[in-house]
Amino acid sequence: MADTETGAVVGAATGTDTGADTGAGTHAGAPASLEVEGLAFAYPDGHQALFGVDLRIGRGERVALLGPNGAGKTTLVLHLNGILSADTGTGRGSVRVAGLPVAKANLQEIRRRVGIVFQDPDDQLFMPTVREDVAFGPANLGLRGAELDARVDEALALVGMAEFADRPPHHLSFGQRRRVAVATVLAMRPEILVLDEPSSNLDPAGRRELAEILARLDVTVLMVTHDLPYALELCPRAVVLSGGVIAADGATRELLADRELMDAHRLELPYGFARLDCGTCAPPG
């Protein structure tokens, strides 16, 4: 688990043990990383995207946020670091990160604590070198010199990109850029790491490498994904958001074995996983 005094995001798991067999309730008694209560939100055009969402994620949990297109997943995520806010416009309800309300007065601290890795790494990489990109956030927090260098080195090592530190990000492959984007967020030593479709557009090897990196991180994770095998592998717990409400919350394996739930919310495992509901059958691989 992340040491909240030092904020270090150190690897805890070993090898490729992704904890997939861990029960969803393992962290039920852990202090909350994230508490969302009665969150409702309509966009300025009047479109209601969230209708009273309640969600508690314990420190160190890894949770997949699943749901069909238009379910409200991005809208929910944008509330976690105050890009959208329940206390403005038509919003209702509250979001707290490690007990701190997501509100205008706390935005700087909240954005340090909630690291969002967006789907397109090019939205997050804009400096001449990888090192400068990863240093950008901690430098904004006031870190300088050896302390800043150590923070950058640590984050790049966590994603296996140390040897690329002096390369321009635009010379890297898409998969490498995504890993650097993860490092830019880890360098802030976040309380909670939010990943938007982390496996999208990765080739099988890149997908596997990123899974191994994510499995080793010792930080609370909320992963938005349509990649159900990825959710199953990396997140013991899943939450299904559909039509702006939470339709299910439980052990990922159990939710993905519930055919009625899956059909109702347009969730589909790829061929080969079709018999997850057989109870004694294991997914391939």
Ligand X SMILES: Nc1ncnc2c1ncn2[C@@H]1O[C@H](COP(=O)(O)OP(=O)(O)OP(=O)(O)O)[C@@H](O)[C@H]1O
In the chain, which ranges are E strands?
A: 32-42, 48-58, 62-66, 92-97, 100-101, 114-117, 192-196, 220-224, 237-242, 245-251
- Interface residues with ligand X (CB under 6 A)? 43, 45, 47, 49, 67, 69-75
| C-beta closer to ligand X: residue 62 or 73 | 73
| C-beta closer to ligand X: residue 41 or 164 | 41
Residue 131 beta carbon to ligand X: minimum distance, rounded to whole angstroms: 32
Residue 78 beta carbon to ligand X: minimum distance, rounded to whole angstroms: 8
Residue 282 beta carbon to ligand X: minimum distance, rounded to whole angstroms: 28
Backbone angles phi, psi at 51, to 5 degrees: -125, 60
The pair of structure tokens assigned to 247 is 């339709």
| C-beta closer to ligand X: residue 181 or 215 | 181
CB distance 179 to 134 below 8 Å: no
| C-beta closer to ligand X: residue 17 or 122 | 122
| C-beta closer to ligand X: residue 184 or 225 | 225
| C-beta closer to ligand X: residue 43 or 126 | 43
Residue 212 beta carbon to ligand X: minimum distance, rounded to whole angstroms: 25
Residue 142, number of CB atoms within 10 A of its CB: 8
Residue 69 beta carbon to ligand X: minimum distance, rounded to whole angstroms: 3
d(CA 169, CA 121) in angstroms, rounded, equals 10
d(CA 95, CA 90) in angstroms, rounded, equals 15
Backbone angles phi, psi at 250, to 5 degrees: 180, -165
Residue 144 beta carbon to ligand X: minimum distance, rounded to whole angstroms: 38
d(CA 248, CA 60) in angstroms, rounded, equals 21
